[in-house]
Chain A
Amino acid sequence: AQSVTQLGSHVSVSEGALVLLRCNYSSSVPPYLFWYVQYPNQGLQLLLKYTTGATLVKGINGFEAEFKKSETSFHLTKPSAHMSDAAEYFCAVSVLANTSGTYKYIFGTGTRLKVLA
């Protein structure tokens, strides 16, 4: 079954430092991959997605992710962390839901990012 694995349930970085959140996927076919962010007391919102084409994907708030097929990875990065980036980040893969022809999301366990002043 297709799935995603997020390494590190908690990551702390200093303000201005590089943010790196790791996600590896398992898929026998080219996957559709997503990163979602959940700010405190808010719903999940899409940061970025990879479907086909360019392997470096740019998202909102300065985040980007690179799809690396050879490493089965889709790590999320941001060059310089801001205090407002403190949130929980989820990697997800879109997979076929049974034989319906529609798709469902499978989410990773999440990484809580803490930004230190």
Chain B
Amino acid sequence: EAGVAQSPRYKIIEKRQSVAFWCNPISGHATLYWYQQILGQGPKLLIQFQNNGVVDDSQLPKDRFSAERLKGVDSTLKIQPAKLEDSAVYLCASRRRGQANEKLFFGSGTQLSVL
């Protein structure tokens, strides 16, 4: 089966600019996650979708970050305006139903550098 697709692979922007990341999960996967992985740290959950609804966005900095999954398939994550501390790898992951013991499938991530 095809994996989780993410684009772009790399992005370099200046602070205060905006940026968007795209994710297409594995076909049929209802649950989609966006994680932020800062260098040297573990992935931190930003937002979780179940189909096209938000399940958990408690750690999403809503003053600058937004995400949507309008048709319950692919998703976009946006940062506006970006700050230096947003430099990180943004990982998209999905799983079939969001159950406790399900494997999580990750994309290769988008590496963001904010200058």
**Interface residue ranges, A against B (CB under 8 Å):** 6, 9, 32, 34, 36, 41-46, 49, 51, 90, 94, 97-98, 100-110
Report which B residues bind A (CB closer than 8 A): 3-4, 31, 33, 35, 40-45, 48, 50, 55-56, 58, 91, 93, 97-104, 106-109
CB proximity of A47 to chain B, nearest CB, Å: 11
Q: Would you call B42 and A45 a contact (CB within 8 A)?
A: no
**Nearest Cβ on chain B to A87's Cβ, whole angstroms:** 14
Q: List 30 A-B contacts (CB under 8 A).
A: A6-B42, A32-B100, A32-B101, A36-B104, A42-B108, A43-B4, A43-B107, A44-B43, A44-B104, A45-B106, A51-B101, A94-B101, A97-B48, A98-B58, A102-B50, A102-B55, A102-B97, A102-B99, A103-B102, A104-B45, A104-B48, A105-B43, A105-B93, A105-B104, A107-B42, A107-B44, A109-B42, A110-B40, A110-B41, A110-B42
The reply to whether A43 and B45 form a contact with Cβ atoms under 8 Å apart is: no
* A98-B55, A102-B98, A104-B33 as given contacts; A46 in contact with B42, CB under 8 Å: no
Alpha-carbon separation in the docked complex, A90 to B109 (Å): 16
Nearest CB to that of A46 among chain B residues? B103
Q: Which of B4, B42, B100 contacts A90 (CB 8 A)?
A: B42
What's the least CB distance linking A25 to chain B, in Å?
14
| CA distance in complex: A103, B48 (Å) | 9
Is B45 in contact with A100, judged by CB distance below 8 angstroms? no
Q: How far is the CA of A79 from the CA of B43 in the complex (A)?
A: 28
Give A110 to B38 CA distance when docked, in angstroms.
12
A103 to B56, CA, bound (A): 10
**Would B99 and A103 count as touching, CB distance under 8 A?**
yes
Q: A102-B31, A109-B42 are in contact. List 18 more A-B contacts (CB 8 A).
A: A9-B40, A42-B108, A43-B91, A43-B109, A44-B106, A51-B101, A97-B48, A97-B98, A98-B56, A102-B50, A102-B97, A102-B98, A102-B99, A104-B48, A105-B43, A105-B104, A107-B43, A110-B41
